[in-house]
Amino acid sequence: MTIALAVARPTAAAWRQALVALALVAAALLIAFHRDLAAMAHIWWTSTTFGHCLFIAPVLTWLVWIRRRELARLRPEAWWPGIAIVAAGGFGWLVGDAAGVAFARQLGLVMMLQGAVVTLLGANVARGLMFPLCYAVFLVPFGDMLEPPLQQVTVAIVLPLLHLAGVPAAVDGVLIHAGRYYFEVAEACSGAKFVIAMLAYGVLVANLCFASWRRRALFMLVCLVVPVLANGVRAFGTIYAAHLTSVERATGFDHIVYGWLFFGLIMALVMAIGWRWFDRAPDARAFDPATLSTPLKHRIALAPAAALVLLTAGLFAGWSAAIAARTAILPAQIDLPAVPGWQRAPLSTRAPWQPYYPGADHYLFGRYTDRSGAAADLAIAVFASQREGKKLAAFGNGALREGDVWVRVADVPGFAGGRAMRMTAPGPVERIVATWYRAGGMVTGDDRIVKLATLKARMLGGDQAAVAIHISAEGAAARRTIENFLGALGPIDRVADDVAAPR
């Protein structure tokens, strides 16, 4: 008994010291990178897609709590190789900051916190905390890229069900004409929010309720497939109800069911499917402390370890501050170009449209007409540099702003290396919008390439200026109008360079 107490007391003291150091280091990291923490918290609180992230921190606390007895039998020892995780997270954060990718910055912050745990508590404790540490990734809002493909999947499910129910229906991109009404399968209706939330929920259940990796994989497959199919059936039910009653009644009922009951029913269905195959006892230990009590190599004193974590993270924050000073010199004023054969004209009042670039240093928009009366809209946004709040390609920026009256119908073939989309507004009015970006010396319509070009320019130097150009036209002849206007305007790279070149 005396020997056991003698061993326990130093271990308890070591835990107190390690946890105090970890709390101080974590607080310092969160303060230093508070903008990313605030951005994540804002998304958790305001986004219906990522509302489940609010529950991840309490779940992580609970996962650590249920391991407390096993953890108490381990001795925390600072371990300097854990700094590699901090450095990887810091570099990822820096890349995200330079390229304007919020996901990379936020993931980098979470990785730095994970690295702090590994460094200050040691490899043995980190192995005991392996699942909670990895599960912390779900603090980062991710998965919105699933929305466009899931929109198409939902349309593919709904259309044959409508035909089977005897409802005449036709599809145009993400628009479904069924009976008396048009329905948009919007991003919010794609089912992505349920798939993302079910992924987080499924990973947790798979760890707690299954021991077999094969059963875990099959359960995760069910977690991904069932919400997609159920969302398609829900969308069909809404449209069919509107066909039988009215769109107001159907959508009102759908919003109540969709928000309060649907996800709960899907969770219950998935659990019912997997229940009989649960093969892990509820009281089973998360890990065996005896297998994690081996002597630890590469140890380091606690205070130097804490300083090393903060120094490593601070290195990338300082690097970011250094490259943030890079900016291009723009002309004090820019003007829309003169286009041979086209004259400036009043803007459309039938269905006004303009792209959205709130952080642009210069923004121009105008309408041109030719002798035949064809009208084309030209928009130019110029950035001296890009950073948080001033980005060329960011969510809600560009041809369609969040909550716009214009709705994307489908992508269409692009023009001269750019991309194009067809969209519609109440009226109905249709238009095609062609988009080009000029960044890092290249012209592209792909916002992913823009981010890479921005990253290269900010990390390695070079021209920091970035330009977005949109050409748009309404009506059945929109494509021909854009082609004619583009031919008269000239090469996009020359237009972009002319407006961004200092005078």
Q: pLDDT tens for residues 292-341?
A: 877 878 889 999 999 999 999 999 999 888 877 777 678 788 889 999 99
Q: Is residue 402 part of a domain?
A: yes
Residue pair 77/127 in contact (Cβ under 8 Å)? The answer is no
Residue pair 141/43 in contact (Cβ under 8 Å)? The answer is yes
Q: Clarify whether residues 97 and 212 are in a common domain.
A: no
Q: Clarify whether residues 349 and 493 are in a common domain.
A: yes
Q: Clarify whether residues 494 and 354 are in a common domain.
A: yes
The Cα 93–Cα 90 span in angstroms is: 5
Residue pair 302/121 in contact (Cβ under 8 Å)? The answer is no
**Overall residue count recorded for the chain in this entry:** 503
Q: pLDDT tens for residues 161-199?
A: 888 888 888 887 777 777 766 777 766 666 788 889 899
Q: What is the DSSP pairing of strand 466-474 with strand 375-383?
A: antiparallel
Q: What are the start-end ranges of the E strands in 375-428?
A: 375-383, 407-412, 419-425
Q: Is residue 338 part of a domain?
A: no
Tokens linked to 255: 């919003």
The Cα 415–Cα 481 span in angstroms is: 12
Q: Is residue 196 part of a domain?
A: yes
Q: At what angle do helices 102-121 and 302-324 cross, to 10 degrees?
A: 160
Q: Clarify whether residues 313 and 352 are in a common domain.
A: no
Which ranges in 181-212 belong to alpha helices (H)? Answer: 192-209
Tokens linked to 82: 């854990």
Q: Is residue 480 part of a domain?
A: yes
Q: Clarify whether residues 107 and 59 are in a common domain.
A: yes
Q: pLDDT tens for residues 412-454?
A: 999 988 999 999 888 788 999 999 999 877 888 888 888 888 8
Q: pLDDT tens for residues 446-480?
A: 888 888 888 887 887 777 888 999 999 998 899 99
Q: Which residues is 473 bridged to in the sheet?
A: 432
Residue pair 443/502 in contact (Cβ under 8 Å)? The answer is no
The Cα 269–Cα 266 span in angstroms is: 5
Q: Is residue 487 part of a domain?
A: yes
Q: Which residues is 422 bridged to in the sheet?
A: 410, 432
Q: Clarify whether residues 170 and 242 are in a common domain.
A: yes
Q: Which residues is 410 bridged to in the sheet?
A: 422
Q: Clarify whether residues 481 and 347 are in a common domain.
A: yes
Q: What angle do CA 65, 69, 71 make, to 5 degrees?
A: 80
Tell me which residue of 231, 209, 230, 232 sits closest to 220, measured CA to CA.
209
Q: pLDDT tens for residues 116-152?
A: 999 999 999 999 999 999 999 999 998 878 888 888 8
Tell me which residue of 299, 303, 308 sits closest to 29, measured CA to CA.
308
The Cα 94–Cα 114 span in angstroms is: 17
The count of domains in the chain is 3
Query: Which residue segment(s) compose the domain that 415 sits in?
Result: 343-500
